[in-house]
Amino acid sequence: MTTRRTSAARRLLATAFIGSILVLGGCSGSGGEPDGGSASGSASASATPGEAQPEPDLEGIPEVVAVVNGTEISRDLFAETYEGQFAQAAAQAQAAGQEVDQDLLKTTVADNLVSSELLRQEAARRGITASAEGRAAAIDELLQASGLASEEELRAALAEQGIDDAEFDEQLADQVALDTLLAEEAGDTTPTEQEVQEAYDAAKAQQEAGGDTTTPIPPLEDVREQIVQQLAGGKTSEATQALIVRLRESADITVNL
């Protein structure tokens, strides 16, 4: 029996997964500069005002983009995810005077959607469900990210985007289960004091090698929490990618791009 994963039912989970993997992937090394700098933020800010914006090309995308162990990933879900990723890629490309490689981006988005579905299925196979505590923590994070004051305001804002309470609750449960799966897979990601010091020293060495003396890196104690978060994120990313590799080895996957 084939199951259909459509845009309305998978939006929050897929977007959150793809965003977290891209961000964590960038931190998977021994530690980027602990100044919170973001390449995507810089690129977006430096786009030329009034310049014609490129458009995402979705011509020829099939109704079923991929099938993962009998579950279909729909064109609607792919299109919505692709358009969001394209906007970010286009801003970065424009800042660099380049064009977006849309064929590569389509492949990347489809691949990430397949990975997201594999993880969702693995969470279900392990019997992982969303706890009340996990739901509450996820809602708190959404409130902080959105700047809204209450869950009621959050639900109202999502309703304006076409996500009703039932859909939101389903998506939230999926995302909490996914977070629980990744935490279970990664185990204790707390970095050692030596790892924190090495990451800090590496960031300082990188800055010195680049000759940048205008914005010195703050003392370690001022950026310790940020470094710990980066290192923990890197460990979670590595564990996630290793799990995806294992899941793909035994999965039945068809991509129709």
Summarised one tens digit per residue, pLDDT across range 39-83 is 334 344 444 555 667 889 999 999 999 999 999 999 999 999 999
The per-residue pLDDT for 49 is 53
Q: Which domains does the chain have, with CATH numbers?
A: 3-24+57-129+179-255 (1.10.4030)
The per-residue pLDDT for 27 is 34
Instruction: State pTM to two decimals.
Output: 0.76
Task: Express each pLDDT in 99-123 by its tens digit.
Answer: 999 999 999 999 999 999 999 999 9
Question: For the residues 189-201, what does the mean pLDDT come to?
Answer: 96
Confidence of residue 158 (pLDDT cuts 50, 70, 90): confident
Strands (E), the chain: 3-5, 64-68, 71-74, 253-255
The per-residue pLDDT for 48 is 53
Confidence of residue 6 (pLDDT cuts 50, 70, 90): low
Task: Express each pLDDT in 11-42 by its tens digit.
Answer: 444 444 444 443 333 333 333 445 444 333 43
Which helix (H) or strand (E) element contains residue 233? Answer: helix 220-250
Burial of 179 (0-12, 13-18, 19+ CB in 10 A): buried
The per-residue pLDDT for 21 is 40
The per-residue pLDDT for 251 is 98
* Cβ-contact 146, 200 below 8 angstroms: no
The per-residue pLDDT for 9 is 42
Tell me the two tokens of residue 54: 């490129």
Report how far residue 190's alpha carbon sits from residue 211's, in angstroms, rounded to the nearest whole number. 32
Q: How far is CA 143 from CA 17, 23, 26, 155, 162, in A?
A: 18, 20, 25, 10, 18
* Cβ-contact 244, 118 below 8 angstroms: yes
Hunting for tokens 């090698």 — which residue is that?
209
